[in-house]
Structure 1
Amino acid sequence: MTDPFQRYLRAKRTVDDRALDRRLVQTLRGRLGDRAADTDGPLRVLEVGAGIGTMLARFVDWGVLPAGDVRYTAVDIEAANTAAIPGFLREWGADSGVTVTDAPLTVKTGDRRIEVETVAADGVAYAADADGYDLLVGAALLDIVDRDGLPTLLGALAPGGHYYFPITFGGATRFRPRHPADRAVEARYHDHMDRKPGGDSRAGDDVLDRLQRLDGATLTAVGGSDWVVRPVDGAYPADEAYFLRHILDTIEGAVREVTGDDFDALDDWLASRREQVAAAELLYATHQLDFLGRATRGV
């Protein structure tokens, strides 16, 4: 049986696919091709907060990683997620016509060979002891970790290496049709984000400011990556109804943690939203940002 959170990670893959700024993806593809041409040995990639491996699959599907040998280190704080990466990659490979082998875990497609190492660890702590990576990836990461650790993360890059931080929450959560409690629910949900260590309901703005001013790295490009989930022809695409139910469960837990039993409007709001998901009537949108840049120290 699939773990509920891992099913959510699978379900949001199609949501992320639509959201990611393709202009930044295209730029990253070109920069990695240039980097590989100038680098002896395999291209080295570190992904922090890798989940079950959906970003690696996307990089292969979209041709982001260059031809040749790649060493891909996938780090996640949850051991259950890293343990699920081989199975997810095998399943994706079978569906996509991509060869995935074990011992070591390797993805082979065309003239590209990607050897994958999975690590269950805190990403910032792992990066503190790492260096020489050509690409650092952190999707939906910088809105849940202490951004004072950003220099440590970037310290894992070799001079001239690139960073890519997509899906960084930017401070807006919207549901339609409207409900009288929308603003109150959103305010309490964002308040919960702000109370968590490293959390910030305006993380995108803070990350933009920090990356703009950070010594030893330059910000190459910024793009929007808003999530928009809506029914199409009377149904949600793929497993996106599950994605929405998970979002509602997350909001419920967060708001109840902040308010206890002192927010009577929540029950009606949740019941209404869950009925709308079941009827394929709910639209959900969030504002997010993607960041692409380069390490300049030592260049």
Structure 2
Amino acid sequence: MKSDLLIHESIHIITEYYMNNLQPFFDCLADDVLWLGPTEGQILRGRQNIIDTFSSEIHELTFTMGSIDAVCVTPCKAAREVLLHYDIYTHYPSGNTDLHDQRLQFTWREKRIKTENGYEPYWEVVMIHISNAWRHDSRDTIYPVHYENVALPIRLVEKPDNFITVKADDMSVHRIATGKIIYIETIKRTAKLCIHTSDSLITINGTLPDFESRYSKYLLRIHASYLINPEHVTGIERFSVTLSDGTILPVPEKKYTAVKKALLSNSNYPSG
């Protein structure tokens, strides 16, 4: 299986998992799988042991996935390491919502199974490692049901609602909350775009018109080379806009009136 297919399968497994659909997670596990959980000392070994433990877990937590970055490493022909880095929003019965920046590693192993057509490749997960260990409450088995009681701060946050998924030119995959996108620019003399977010720069193959047509609900074309997120505009001058990261982008004179009208129709910006 190609690396990008394993990336997408890993993302599918974890997004279904956080919607409390555990079957794709169970289906990918090897018989000798090792699971290292997100809190101190959480270790489970063996497929059936993991299925039994997760199936018996009773909790009232719900989860929302945020942004996801994914990359695949190939240590040898028969193995792949898929690394996921994502935001996870945990919603407690008390009404609190907590945000964690989580890192997860899937170790995939290729096996060959005998079929009527001969031996065919099959990929299974032999290790799952959630590397950012939290403090552990002894009353919890899998989920951090008592996390609010271990003297750690709960950050009250709002979950993001909309995302775009892109494949970077280094073959990594990124699921980006639209609210994090500041602007997108064309890289001169290439068929590439640079996505500027509030915490990263991501280079992808693509064109600005394609992005404009797909994401016009969230992004505004202000120039032949720039799409901006109106939520990150902090000022409008003649003939430019200032964005939340301090970037100043030009607006052509012919587009200025239309751009200014589009921005001011929904928000209040200082303008000149």
Structure with bigger RCO (C-alpha 8 Å, 6+ apart): 1
* TM-score, normalized by the shorter chain, greater than 0.5: no
Give the TM-score taking structure 2 as reference length.
0.28
Larger radius of gyration: 2
- Higher helix share goes to which structure? 1
Choose between structure 1 and 2: higher strand proportion: 2
TM-score (norm 1): 0.26
